A and B are shown apart, each in its own frame.
Chain A
């Protein structure tokens, strides 16, 4: 009957000719709006801040000049260091302890002997100054950064701006070996070089030559905002980000804050909380049926035995984090006064976080992957700037709300993301877990070797992965 009625409905077609399209538009429009608003990305609020001494000045605009900067030293600085090294007091290690109680003081004495007699700080300062340094004032404090442009750009090739952020106990200096691979890939035998970068490596406020905040509350969100302002001030509208350690948290916040400015986010370390019943179940099942919970064979090797690798290991290695997140001024006080103490504290990480089998070695196998010159240069950056205490405060500022960090992980990260998973990193995050936060993983690579200080230890591997990631993003 209805079908028989149809011919009659065409009699009203003129009315329907108006109503139906309008209704369709209306419904269609609502559908489109609903679909789009579901995917509308919530961003991290940018906010604002003031980190200088005292009250923020009411009048006057901030000085936005970018001033060239050179690291300097003096006889006085070097002599003072030498005196302290000469007078260092050591406590002998326990028999057979290797690095299991921390930095072995027998080996430390050898390091200090080198530092006193062979390490040439003036020469290292020249090495540091080989890239152009700058200072600029943002939110009341001086931000230090290096800015390296490629010396030669092939015709028609675009130069990608890349912001690389260090962590603790590192510095901008960790990137010195990888920078040339990114600014001049062809010269270093890296793939055809269809991606070329200009690299900006700032120092996190409170680290190295960046001024330390004078106010409480300076966390990764504030850092992210300041670094966006920096890139903006340098004239960049869109850029790539790369980071590990704190650099990973900061660049992740940057991607959550202004996704439209972030072309891609590359991380060599990823934090995802092992929270939630679902995650715990997948951890337990994953040991027996990894494919069921999306874990690969490589994941299984790196994640299990779970309690050993993710609980005992982390508890054993996170004492520094616990004390720095609660009493940074106490923890850093002696280290700012004793260069030997500072070296022991920082270099222990370069040993253990590079490969945890180094704990069994009397010398922490430090020199198997790094040279004393480069390790001590990093230590000297903390020493000559007296920044150890402010660097530690960053831990406390980021634990303002127990248990999580300041940023809201529920926001997710939607910019194209590349993850380089190094085998000796402190904890392994499988892709399936990373996807909880990183919604747009473009590349995920199991790196063949390397630990926490990827840029420092395996610059070529890291550079290759960054380029592989950027190439994919650019083609998308």
Chain B
């Protein structure tokens, strides 16, 4: 249809955005401003006059026979479409493989057992700005002499959940038992983003997560804490560092996107392959980024269809997925395949069982299914992207909080340190991880934990948070 028009328009829009940004760059100096804290009301209807209930209530995930039999009925009656010959995962999730997943889901996957797994960590709910926020709070089982647990807020993304952190939590709360140094021990808080999993979805339009999580940490009594995130967690934790730099001791990211691109970025894309030193590119940067058309532009276009439709018509695209568990699984599993390793698109089974087990993947999907949150999870894209990239205030502000970046090789798009440090002005550590993709905490918990530990080690040793 709009084929060439669309591509032409997209290129034009890229240039328009670049042009606008150049003007901003010329006219506004990046100030060391903070992002304002957003006070809001996201519950149904009008905000009541009464004081908000600020109690923290324990929560347990539950299931019922009815929930299970409804699921099985839908799995039994799933309608599949044969894939094209030799298409592997190039057209999306391969339905021949999907049938195998569904068969496992029906016959071997034990949701009751997985619910017990979910409940092994203490979970809570508390009302903030009108909506119930769910979170996991795990304290260390033991503390070395004279040490106190450092609070660490870990934020998931899409299509993930708090469950992605279940493998890494013990490495952080009890490092000694897992062969890691116990110089720093954490108490970990993993909330669910509003509209995801067991956190209530906002009833009003607008974006809120960072402010809500900030309020959560204060309510839990933490005055200073570390934050960690990837995917949307990257954005929320970055915003938190911009809202409350005096409270965030350190920010660790496994994804550091740069959305505010300017003329220098364009230049570095055009010439960086030939003059890497000029643009601050290291050899590994060049290896991961070039040829740019293939590894940058085409890849983004090929892999961002979901973001485009979710940022414009979330209620439409989510509707069927909230009604068909198989459709939901196909949609989510495709990301766990492609974003873990783009080469997996060439495999008939999408390489899914090379890095994950089906129990973990299906547990994550079940969180979306039983909470019916797929639509509200998609609305997050519209709330954050509908005005386009490079247009929001937080994108123009820098981050002065000590930052650690773990750069995984199979992330869909690579951000070199040279670009990241324009925004994150206080990068304490930046490491090229040896392996792993987008879902770092689930796929390579040990590698990620080690990087977090060394980052915190640096910050604590030099008391860097005081030097901001």
Interface residues of A (CB under 8 A from B): 53-54, 80, 83-84, 87-97, 101-105, 108, 167, 213-216, 245-246, 249, 271-275, 280, 307, 310-311, 314-338, 340-342, 344-345, 348, 386, 388-390, 393, 395-396, 398-399, 402-405, 409, 426-427
In the bound assembly, the distance between CA atoms of A101 and B195 in angstroms comes to 15
Q: Which of B3, B6, B95, B306 is most buried by chain A, counting CB atoms within 10 A of its CB?
A: B3
In the bound assembly, the distance between CA atoms of A89 and B320 in angstroms comes to 9
In the bound assembly, the distance between CA atoms of A338 and B86 in angstroms comes to 27
Contact present for A336 and B81 (CB under 8 Å)? yes
B382 located at the interface, meaning its Cβ lies under 8 Å from any Cβ of chain A in the complex? yes
Residues of A within 8 A of B334 (CB): 327, 330
Q: List 8 A-B contacts (CB under 8 A).
A: A91-B374, A273-B4, A319-B313, A329-B95, A333-B330, A334-B326, A340-B319, A395-B1
Instruction: For A334, give the chain B residue with the smallest CB separation.
Output: B327
Residues 80-103 of B, flagged 1 when their CB comes within 8 A of A and 0 if not, give 111111110001111100100000
Contact present for A316 and B312 (CB under 8 Å)? yes
B376 located at the interface, meaning its Cβ lies under 8 Å from any Cβ of chain A in the complex? yes
B5 located at the interface, meaning its Cβ lies under 8 Å from any Cβ of chain A in the complex? yes
Instruction: For A217, give the chain B residue with the smallest CB separation.
Output: B84
In the bound assembly, the distance between CA atoms of A80 and B1 in angstroms comes to 34
B413 located at the interface, meaning its Cβ lies under 8 Å from any Cβ of chain A in the complex? no
> In the complex where A91-B376, A271-B4, A341-B327 touch, is A103 in contact with B319 (Cβ < 8 A)?
yes
Contact present for A328 and B92 (CB under 8 Å)? yes
Return the contact of B204 from the options A94, A214, A325 (Cβ within 8 A). A94
In the bound assembly, the distance between CA atoms of A245 and B4 in angstroms comes to 14
Contact present for B8 and A91 (CB under 8 Å)? no
Return the contact of A311 from the options B13, B327, B330 (Cβ within 8 A). B13
B304 located at the interface, meaning its Cβ lies under 8 Å from any Cβ of chain A in the complex? yes
Stretch from B261-269, B295-303, B359-367, B456-464 at the A interface: B295-303
Instruction: For A97, give the chain B residue with the smallest CB separation.
Output: B205
Residues of A within 8 A of B314 (CB): 101-102
Contact present for A335 and B308 (CB under 8 Å)? no
Tell me how many residue pairs across A and B have CB atoms closer than 8 Å: 265
Residues of B within 8 A of A327 (CB): 91-93, 305-306, 334
Report the contact-size class of chain B (Cβ under 8 Å from the partner): 35 or more
Shortest distance between the CB of A141 and any CB in chain B (Å): 13
In the bound assembly, the distance between CA atoms of A249 and B3 in angstroms comes to 10
Contact present for A322 and B315 (CB under 8 Å)? no
Return the contact of B5 from the options A215, A272, A393 (Cβ within 8 A). A272
Residues of B within 8 A of A316 (CB): 312
Report B1-59 residues with CB < 8 Å from chain A CB. 1-13, 16, 44-45
Contact present for B84 and A215 (CB under 8 Å)? yes
In the bound assembly, the distance between CA atoms of A280 and B83 in angstroms comes to 41
> In the complex where A324-B305, A333-B98, A393-B91 touch, is A271 in contact with B323 (Cβ < 8 A)?
no
In the bound assembly, the distance between CA atoms of A336 and B13 in angstroms comes to 34
Contact present for B5 and A274 (CB under 8 Å)? yes
Contact present for A334 and B379 (CB under 8 Å)? no
Contact present for A332 and B81 (CB under 8 Å)? yes
- 4 nearest A-B pairs in the assembled complex, by CB-CB distance: A341-B320, A334-B327, A403-B7, A330-B92
Contact present for A101 and B305 (CB under 8 Å)? no
Contact present for A329 and B83 (CB under 8 Å)? yes
Residues of B within 8 A of A328 (CB): 91-92
Contact present for B309 and A330 (CB under 8 Å)? no
Residues of A within 8 A of B372 (CB): 89, 91
> In the complex where A102-B315, A402-B298 touch, is A271 in contact with B3 (Cβ < 8 A)?
yes
In the bound assembly, the distance between CA atoms of A344 and B374 in angstroms comes to 15
